[in-house]
């Protein structure tokens, strides 16, 4: 089956604009995670979904960041009023069930550049 | 808060030599420790993982050791090959959510 997919692969936007990043997890995976990877850095946890609910949003950097998940599948990460420090690669990952200690499968990421 | 420290940040070895990357974690509740390999421009891929009830795990040329008392875990790659060159990330997880806390990464260069 298909792996985790993300779109767009690259996004260039101007400071102050809103952006939406999309993640399609592996079919049947109930848990979904968003991470952010700044240049030369490790991955930083943003938010966790179990089904359509987000029991852990502790990693969202500010209230400009939000995410939703519908139908227990596709997730969208929205960044409002983008700032230059938001430039990074945004990765999502899915797993068959949250909290289980098995492999998180990563998508290819969306590279966001804020000018 | 939860934190994972990873050392060294860069590592250069000759082909055939061994490479060791070390991580320490702060959350004593952590009980799952995966290692990911990320090639340039690619997504992270799991190479090995270990759970807290095990002290060591081996898969061909790769091994991971865990010392829960000291909150240390390490990745060992033997007989390194040029294709092992990549960025390696350690991570720790212990919450009910399964979220991963990552180290800062180690850039491994294997010289032919």
Q: What is the pLDDT of residues A84-108, one digit of tens each?
A: 999 999 999 998 866 656 789 999 9
pLDDT at A1 exceeding the cut of 70: no
- CB neighbours of residue A79 within 10 Å: 24
Least confident range from A38-42, A65-69, B103-107: namely A38-42
- Cβ-based neighbours of A9, under 8 Å, separated by 6 or more: A108, A109, A110, A111
> Quick check: B43 and A31 CB within 8 A?
no
The residue length of chain A stands at 115
Per-residue pLDDT in tens (0 to 9) along chain B, 112 residues: 689 999 999 999 999 999 999 999 999 889 999 999 999 989 999 999 999 888 999 999 999 999 999 999 999 999 999 999 999 999 999 877 889 999 999 999 999 9
* pLDDT of B42: 92
SS3 A85: helix
Spell out which residues of chain B touch residue A59, defining contact as CB-CB under 8 Å.
99
Q: Are the C-beta atoms of residues A92 and A75 closer than 8 Å to each other?
A: yes
Q: What angle do CA B63, B66, B72 make, to 5 degrees?
A: 120
CA distance B57 to chain A (A): 15
SS3 B109: strand
Question: Could you report how far apart the first and last alpha carbons of chain B are, in Å?
Answer: 41
Spell out which residues of chain A touch residue B101, defining contact as CB-CB under 8 Å.
45
> Quick check: B43 and A41 CB within 8 A?
no
Spell out which residues of chain B touch residue A29, defining contact as CB-CB under 8 Å.
none
> pLDDT-derived band of residue A42, with 50, 70 and 90 as boundaries?
confident
pLDDT at A80 exceeding the cut of 60: yes
Whole-angstrom distance, CA of residue A58 vs CA of residue A24: 22
């Amino acid at each position: 089956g298909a792996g985790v997919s993300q779109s767009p692969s690259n996004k260039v936007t101007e400071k102050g604009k809103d952006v939406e990043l999309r993640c399609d997890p592996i079919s049947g995976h109930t848990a979904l995670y968003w991470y952010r990877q700044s240049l030369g850095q490790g991955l930083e946890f943003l938010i966790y979904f179990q089904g359509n609910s987000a029991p852990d949003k502790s990693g969202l950097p500010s209230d400009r960041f939000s995410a939703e998940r519908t139908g227990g599948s596709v997730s969208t990460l929205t960044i409002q009023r983008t700032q230059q420090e938001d430039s990074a690669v945004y990765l999502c990952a899915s797993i068959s069930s949250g909290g289980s200690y098995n492999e998180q499968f990563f998508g290819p990421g969306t590279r966001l550049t804020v000018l | 808060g939860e934190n994972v420290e990873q050392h060294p940040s860069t590592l250069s070895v000759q082909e055939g030599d061994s490479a060791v990357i070390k991580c320490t974690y702060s959350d004593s509740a952590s009980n799952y420790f995966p290692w990911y390999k990320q090639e340039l421009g690619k997504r992270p891929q799991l190479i090995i993982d270990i759970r807290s009830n095990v002290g060591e795990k081996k898969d061909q040329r790769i091994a991971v050791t865990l010392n829960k008392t000291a909150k240390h875990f390490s990745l060992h790659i033997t007989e390194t090959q040029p294709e092992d060159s990549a960025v390696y990330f350690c991570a720790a997880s212990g919450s009910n959510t399964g979220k991963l806390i990552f180290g800062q990464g180690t850039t491994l260069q294997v010289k032919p």
